[in-house]
Structure formats: structure tokens, C-alpha cells
Chains A and B, each alone.
Chain A
Amino acid sequence: MAAPALLLGFILVLACFSDTCFAIISFSSLQRTLVVTASHPQRPLKAGEDKITVTWGLNQSFPAGTDSAYKTIKVKLCYAPISQVDRAWRKTHDNLSKDKTCQFKIVKTPYTTTNHTSEWTIERDVPTATYFVRAYALDAQDQQVAYGQNTDAKKTTNLFEIQAITGRHVSLDVASVCFSAFSIVALMGFFFAEKRKGGKAQQ
């Protein structure tokens, strides 16, 4: 009687612990070993049109062998602090599994010891905001082990703005206006018809 309950309890406890064992990688535990630069036109960039060229590589001042665990590089577009104000869905968390700073993937490629460059056209679903670029080095289990970013630790330099597409189209505008006008006209039409019928006794 007690044994199954104990077993269940044990499994539950294990489940809780296993959760904590795997998930928590904190950003503050990562070393900034990568050097990342991003080049782009010096004006607000347009989503869907402009390109950003990202270059990354290992910072040579680190001892050799630092990058032995790096298998993949994932480069992401991240929100600058000014675009996170009053927007809890973009909040920075130290726990990387909860962190929402970097929501757009620029590129994910295998790690090479030489510097790597990639050109990325800004996707059309990127919202209007101020951004910076960060690259994570991932190990064979796809866990983050190091990072680099094109801005400083306080995220104040080298930020750039992206303007989103509006999503509006002329055809949509026209359809909205037409359907709206139709509703109003139909209502007036009904009133008019009611008034005319009102003279007759029969319904």
C-alpha cells in the first residue's frame, strides 16, 4: 500500500530534479569569447529590404582550446533595452530558457575556427525596434557555452533601428471601405423599406 505511493513520490521528486538538472543555463555564466560585428547602411533599416552583414570569430586573446566544445554558432537579432521598456514579452532573463531578448534567428551554422561572414536580409515579420546582434556558441547537445555581441555589456553602442513593414495593402484598405459603406447603405435601405411598408396594414 505504501510502496506504490512511495514509488510515485520518488518519481515525482526525480522529475522535479531532472528538470532543474537540464534546463538552467544562465547568461551570466557564459564567457564572452566571440567577437561579433554587424555592418549595415547607416540609417533606419527596412524589414524585407535591407541586409545586415554579420561577421564573427573567436577572440584571439583567449587561450587556444577555448573553443574545443563549440560545434555550432547561432546568430540572433536581439532587442536593445530601449525596445524592452513596458514590454514584458521581450524581457531579459538570466535563465536562458526564459530569456526573451533575442527572438529572431539570423543564421545557424557549424562552427569554424576562422572568421565567418554571413549576409542576412531582414525578414518581413521583424517589428519596429532598436536591435543589436548576438552570437551564441553551442556545444554538441545544442547548449549555449559562450557568446559574443556587437554591442557593449550595457547594450548601449552599435545599436541599429529596423522599421517594420506596415502589413497594409491598398486592396485591403479599399475592401474595408467598400464593405463598411455597404453595411451603412444596407441599413439605410432597410429603414427606407420599413417606412414604405409602414403605410400598409399588413406585415
Chain B
Amino acid sequence: MEISSNGAETQPKFALPVDSEHKATEFRLFSVAAPHMRAFHLSWVSFFACFVSTFAAPPLLPIIRDNLNLTATDIGNAGIASVSGAVFARLAMGTACDLFGPRLASASLILLTAPVVFFTSIASSPVSFLLVRFFTGFSLATFVSTQFWMSSMFSAPVVGTANGVAGGWGNLGGGATQLIMPLVFGLIRDIGAVKFTAWRIAFFIPALFQTLSAFAILLFGQDLPDGNYKRLQKSGDKQKDKFSRVFYHGITNYRGWILALTYGYCFGVELTIDNIIAEYFYDRFNLKLHTAGIIAASFGLANIISRPGGGMLSDAMGKRFGMRGRLWTLWTVQTLGGVFCIILGQVGSLSASVAVMIIFSFFVQAACGLTFGVVPFVSRRSLGVISGMTGGGGNVGAVVTQLIFFKGSRYSKETGITLMGIMIICCSLPLFLIYFPQWGGMFCGPSSDKTATEEDYYMSEWSSNEKDKGLHEASLKFADNSRRERGRSVHSQTLPSNATPPANV
């Protein structure tokens, strides 16, 4: 709990060491010091709550499907609906964070979707069930505000860890809910409620949790280390970029599209499994609801270390082998995830299924963490848009996968799982196409062209007009820092040559 202040100015003291932007340079998990660690805990807990709500229905489906007279098609449609809302919500959330700050943006979304979770208790037909799952799914856009908030609060050396842990621990909600909901349901039923009423009462728990977490964000959180957006914009401390330019440079970067596709086959697969796995174990192995919930939960619970682990692995690979190392590791881990997915669909015994599922979960979730080890480098100006595209792509993957393999009765669940594994392997291949002129790609080294430097890459996002106005300064700083992505052996060679091409005056 040392206080470290910048000697040059009389700054408010922070509990953690900070850099010149007042972003924390250390990540202390067990601290709740304002504003950095407090923001971390608020963001992961609220994201966790949204995951709990979005996936609260799947573990109780064996009860709900009888109460609402659902067919397998209805269930499949609702599952697809639950992850499709967030596709565009994630894109929109990036913009909202830019305009209003992550605190207001995320709290508003959470409080606007909480009523839908309450209304799940009064669903009475397949249509109403689909609608509540659709609108509840919008809350998964809090992923973007979580990552945005962490990037605003934590400096480069720890931002990967902060993002990975916040993202991973939020995703935990998808696993925890498979444990929580059957437990709550069981308690309420044992108190005396009938099955078809007990599940309805059970939904109040995630709804209340969500509401309370939003209140906590509004009461205890702040957007930036120095304060909230409104105040900083008034005092002129925050620059505003043009939305249209930011958007344009994001969507015209092909790497963003490739990552959106591949994220669809790690995170999208994770969402799909969250939706189908409890029912799969319940039906295939004739387990009790409670037991199926526990097994299904272990998939999502692996997030506690697997996603952060992926992020840390990406950082370690990046340090030694640069961007090429990050890409190779991402491809390898994600492809192995696909292999284990194929095996999961093939094994027929309960213990083997559980074991394979746990191994599969590690690889698939680590791939998510590894993806967001590459995303920050794709664009500096349009980081929000690229993150939103990738995040949204994850949900598109979940929608497409459930539509093709898990809707209705065309494929048995085990066949669907095997086919999904094959699709993971195929959709990870486009990673081979990602190429950074300054760092190379999976098969090609960096270009020997004189104009292939970090500065050239990041400056290409600014027009000469904008450069004249000096709007590109932050990107230049970032380009310099990103030279680490050349890898250790190359980096030490380039150090002596301090001739950073003067792209501007």
C-alpha cells in the first residue's frame, strides 16, 4: 500500500504506483483501492452477474421445457437468441464507452436488462421464453466496457493481465450459474414450492444480483484514474476523436475481420457449450439435474485460470518471439481445442466425457485470452472498434454454430459437438493470413521494406491533415512501445539504431 506520487506535480495520491497517465503499473488482486483495483473488482463482478443471468436458463431447462411445453427446436432458437443480441450490442457498447464512459455505459445496460431477467419469472410460452433470453443476452456487451475500463485504468505492462483476469472471471459466471441455479431451485422446491413455481422464483436471484452490481458501479466506480468523463471533458483534459474516422479505420483492417472469425470459434464455442452442456449430460447419461449442473459448471469454472493463463502465455510468447510467437501460440492452442472437441463428441462414458470436457475447456478459453493478446496491436486509433468487432464476432460464432448443429433434432448433441470441433479447426486456419509488415506473420518474416516499421503501420491510420494537427501523438508513443513485438533476438538488434524514421515534424 505504498503511496507513489509523481514528484513534478502535486497529484492526488494513489494507492498503486502509476505512470504519467495515472494508469496503474501494478496489478494487485487482493486490493480494493480506489480507483484502479476498485474499478477492476466492480467490472469483473458486474460482468460475472451478466453471465449468470444470461445462462441461468440452460441448467433449469429440463424443468422449463416441461413447464412451457418447449420442443427441441424452441430450445435451440432460444439458445441462439440469447447470444445474438450481444453481436450488435458489443459494437454499440464500444461507442457508448467512448462517448459516456464505461461507468455509465455499463451500469445503464445492466439496469436496463435487469427487468428482463425479472420477467423471465412470468414467461408462459415458447415465444416469451425466446424473447426474455434474447433481451437478457444484450447484457453480455458488458465485456467491451470491462476491457475498455481496464485499458483506461491499467498501463501497458499489466493491461493484458488486467484484461485477461477481468474477462476470465466474468466468464466464470457462465459456469457458476450451472451450479447456482440448480442449487437455488432445489432449495426453493424443498421449502415447499412446486417444481413449476420454484424455477420462476429462482430467477429472482440473478436478477437481484445484477441490479445490485449496477448500483455498486454507479456508487463506487469512476471512469478514469482522474475522475469521470463529464468532468474531464468539461475541463478539456480529454480529447475527442471523430467517430466516423475511428469506425472506418477499424472496419477496413482485415486483421480485425480474421480475429472476429477466429474468436467466434473459441469464445463462440464457449457460449455454445454454456447453452447445451447441462442438457447434454442430463439426457445422455441420465444424471440428476444437480449433478448435470455441477459437471456443466466445471466447464465455465475453468475460466478462473484458463483465460488469464492464455493472456499471460501470449505475453510470454510475445516477449520471446514477438508477434509471430503470439500468432503461432494462438493457432496451436485453438486447434488443439478443436481436436478435444471432436474427442468429446466421440466418448461414450461419463468419466471420459468429463475429463475430455475439462481439457477442452482449458484450450478453448486460453485461446480467448490469447486472442486478446493480439487485438491491442491490430489498431491503436480504432482499438475500441476492433475489440467490439472481435467481441461481436465471438457471438456471431455462437449463433452460427447453434443454428447449424444444435437446433431441432437434425443432429444428436454428440454429433453436433464433433462437427463443431471440426469447424473450430477449419475456422482457425485464417490466422495464417494475418501479416504485420513490421513483425511478419505465421509463415513470413517481417518485410525488409524500409517503410515497414511500427510507426508506418500505426501512422497509416492518420491522414496528413490530422498529423498536422498533432492528433496522432498517442499512436506514435504506442508504436514506439510496440517495438517489443519484434521478439527478443530481433529487438536487441534494433535497439542501437535509434533512427526512428521521422514520419512527422
B67 touches A167 (CB 8 A): yes
Chain B residues with CB below 8 A from A184, complex form? 111-112, 115
Given A86-B73, A175-B204: A166 in contact with B196 (beta carbons within 8 A): yes
Q: Tell whether, in the assembled complex, residue B124 and residue A166 are in contact, meaning their CB atoms are under 8 Å apart.
A: yes
* Residues on the A chain within 8 Å of B214, using CB: 183, 187
Q: Is the CB of A124 within 8 A of B211?
A: no
* B244 CB, nearest partner CB in chain A, Å: 27
Kindly count the residue-residue contacts between A and B in the assembled complex, taking CB atoms under 8 Å apart: 108
Interface flag for B71 (CB, 8 Å):
yes
Tell me whether A176 and B111 are in contact in the complex, defined as CB-CB below 8 angstroms, given that A88-B409, A167-B200, A190-B218 are known contacts.
no
Mask: chain B, 167-211; 1 = CB below 8 Å from A; 0 = not: 000000000000000000000000000111101110010011001
| CB-based contact B71/A86 at 8 Å | yes
Contact B211 A85 (CB under 8 A): no
CA distance A173 to B118 in the complex (A): 9
Of A127, A169, A183, A186, the residue contacting B67 (CB under 8 A) is A127
CA distance A8 to B132 in the complex (A): 53
How far is B112's CA from A88's CA once the two chains are assembled, in angstroms? 36
Q: How far is the CA of A186 from the CA of B215 in the complex (A)?
A: 8
Given contacts A86-B72, A89-B283, A176-B118, contact A164 B231 (CB under 8 A): no
User: A139 CA to B73 CA in the complex, in Å?
Assistant: 40
Assembled-state Cα–Cα distance A128/B54 (Å)? 26
Knowing A164-B67, A180-B118, A183-B115 touch, does A172 contact B72 (C-beta < 8 A)?
no
Which 3 pairs, one residue from A and one from B, show the smallest C-beta to C-beta distance?
A167-B196, A180-B115, A127-B66
A-B contact list, 8 entries, CB within 8 Å: A125-B196, A127-B66, A127-B67, A167-B200, A175-B121, A176-B119, A183-B111, A198-B234
- Among the stretches B222-230, B300-308, B386-394, B471-479, the one at the interface with A is B222-230
Q: Among the listed B71, B73, B104, B211, which residue makes an inter-chain contact with A183, where contact means beta carbons less than 8 Å apart? A: B211
> Contacts A88-B409, A167-B67, A180-B115 known; A187 to B73 CB distance under 8 Å?
no
By the criterion CB–CB under 8 Å, are A187 and B72 in contact? Answer: no
CB neighbours (8 Å) of A203 from chain B are 222, 227-228, 231
B376 within 8 A of A: no
B426 within 8 A of A: no
CB of A169 within 8 A of CB of B197, answer yes
Q: Is B37 in the interface zone, CB < 8 Å from A?
A: no
Given A166-B124, A179-B211, the answer on whether A87 and B72 have CB atoms closer than 8 Å is yes
Q: Is the CB of B467 closer than 8 A to any CB of chain A?
A: no
Question: Contacting B197 at CB < 8 Å: which of A85, A167, A177?
Answer: A167
Chain A residues with CB under 8 Å of B215's CB are: 186
Given contacts A125-B194, A183-B214, 11 further A-B contacts (CB under 8 A): A86-B409, A87-B65, A129-B69, A164-B196, A166-B196, A168-B122, A172-B121, A173-B122, A179-B208, A180-B118, A187-B112
Q: Are A165 and B409 in contact (CB under 8 A)?
A: no
Number of B residues contacting the other chain (C-beta, 8 Å)? 44
Q: How far is the CA of A168 from the CA of B128 in the complex (A)?
A: 14
Within 8 Å of chain B (Cβ to Cβ): is A64?
Answer: no
| Chain A contacts with B in 66-116, Cβ cutoff 8 A | 85-89
A179 CA to B120 CA, complexed, in Å? 13
CA of A174 to CA of B158 in the docked complex: distance in angstroms? 47
B107 within 8 A of A: yes
A201 on the B face (CB < 8 A): yes
Nearest opposing residue in chain B for A166, CB measure: B124
Residues of B with C-beta under 8 A to A142: none
Interface flags, A182-196, vs B, CB<8A=1, else 0: 111011001100100
Interface residues of B in 343-370 (CB under 8 A from A): none
- Taking the nearest CB of chain B, how far is it from the CB of A190, in angstroms? 5
The A-contacting residues of B in range 24-50, CB under 8 angstroms, are none
